[in-house]
Every structure is written in C-alpha cells, then in structure tokens.
Amino acid sequence: MGSRLRFLTGLAAVVAATAIVPTTFSPPASAASAATAYRLVTAAATGALGADSAIACPIPSGSQFVDSWGASRSGGRRHEGVDMIADRNTPVAAVQSGDISFKQNRLGGNAAWLTSPSGNTFYYAHFDRFEGESRFVLQGEVIGYVGSTGNAKGPHLHFETHFGGTVGNPYAATYAACVEPVLDATQIQADTKRFAQHVAIR
C-alpha cells in the first residue's frame, strides 16, 4: 500500500506540475483487455465509490485529457468541461443511468444531455453521430461516437458534469472513473507477481 501511495503521489505531482502533459487513460495490454478494463471502470464507478457523484468513464477504450477548467474560449467564454481527445468514431458511454436527450447546437454540434434519477446532469458535445434515439440508457451504454461537430478543431469529446444541477470541474470525477481503475489493476498485477515470486523463492 505504501509503494502505491508513493507512486500515486508522485504521479499527481507530475500532473500538477504541467498542464500540457495530458492524463492518458489507455488500458495497458499487460493489465487487461479492453473489455476487462471497461468492466473495471464501470465496477469502480458503480460499486466502490457508491455515491451519486460516481461516474463511469465517458470513453472506456481510452483518451487523453487535461484539467482545462476555466480556460478562455472564443467570445469571452470560459471552458466548463473536460476535453477528451480520442480517434473519430470512438464509442462514448453513458456515465450514469438516466434519460438521454440528443440535440444539435452551434457550439456543441451533435450534443446530448443525460439526466440521472438523482438529478445529476451531464453534457456531451461534438459527437460524430448518435447511437439510437433519445431514451433511457444504462450506465456504460454506448450513446454516440467521438467527432468534431460544432465549434471543434479536431475529434474530441467535450464532457461536463452538473452534480445537483450545478456545473463544476469534471476533471476529478473523470480521472477517478477513467484512470484510477487502470492504475489499480496494474498495481494488483504487480503485487500478485511479486507475491508469486516470493512464494516460489521460499
């Protein structure tokens, strides 16, 4: 536990030191298959955290993102989300179960609002296309695909969290859903390997 804490503390220091190094969530081949990593993310979001603010990863197969909350945008606006960079047509998932409403607007292009039974809302923008029609969806269900519609310079997902109806910085929740389960899986594998080697030596 001590070595993991030191590792995570060091990683947090590196991420905090520079805003140009993106947080990368990409399930390592040595840790798990994409399907297994997806299950890890969903399980951690729904079970381990056990709170209304727990979410599944919006892009389970991997993306890059930084904490860009409050960054300036055209027209004097401030950034109120996290931009998750991924290849065009990468599947995007519902972060909580709830009602999804697909819409189009000038800035977000193909966009969606997801409202959970607890009253949380989540805004997704720049989809290449939607998956299905507006409906009730389950957490982890594919709702669309990464694109660059609206005011976007390249393929990415703009993702916002509105917990309790108030928009807030989504970085911490996104990091917890997308990155920490993969770090946990990698650490478990490393610990298991060390334990097996120790038993073999004895």
Say if residue 26's pLDDT is above 90.
no
pLDDT digits (tens, 9 = 90+) for 101-143: 999 999 999 999 999 998 899 999 999 999 999 999 999 999 9
Residue 160 has pLDDT above 50, yes or no: yes
pLDDT of 200 reads: 62
* pLDDT given at position 78: 79
Spatial distance between the Cα atoms of 138 and 121, rounded to a whole number of angstroms:
14
22-31, 48-57, 177-186, range with the lowest pLDDT: 22-31
Exposed/middle/buried for residue 198 (C-beta within 10 Å: 0-12, 13-18, 19+) = exposed
Q: Which pLDDT score, from 0 to 100, does residue 75 have?
A: 74
pTM of structure: 0.69
The Cα–Cα gap between 141 and 194 comes to 36
pLDDT digits (tens, 9 = 90+) for 52-93: 778 999 999 999 988 887 777 777 787 788 899 999 999 999
Residue 17 near residue 26 (C-beta atoms within 8 A):
no
Is the per-residue pLDDT at 35 higher than 50? Answer: no
Out of 6-15, 89-98, 119-128, 147-156, pick the least confident: 6-15
Give 8: exposed, middle or buried? Use CB within 10 Å, 0-12, 13-18, 19+: middle
- What pLDDT score does 3 carry? 47
Distance CA 177, CA 31 (A): 16
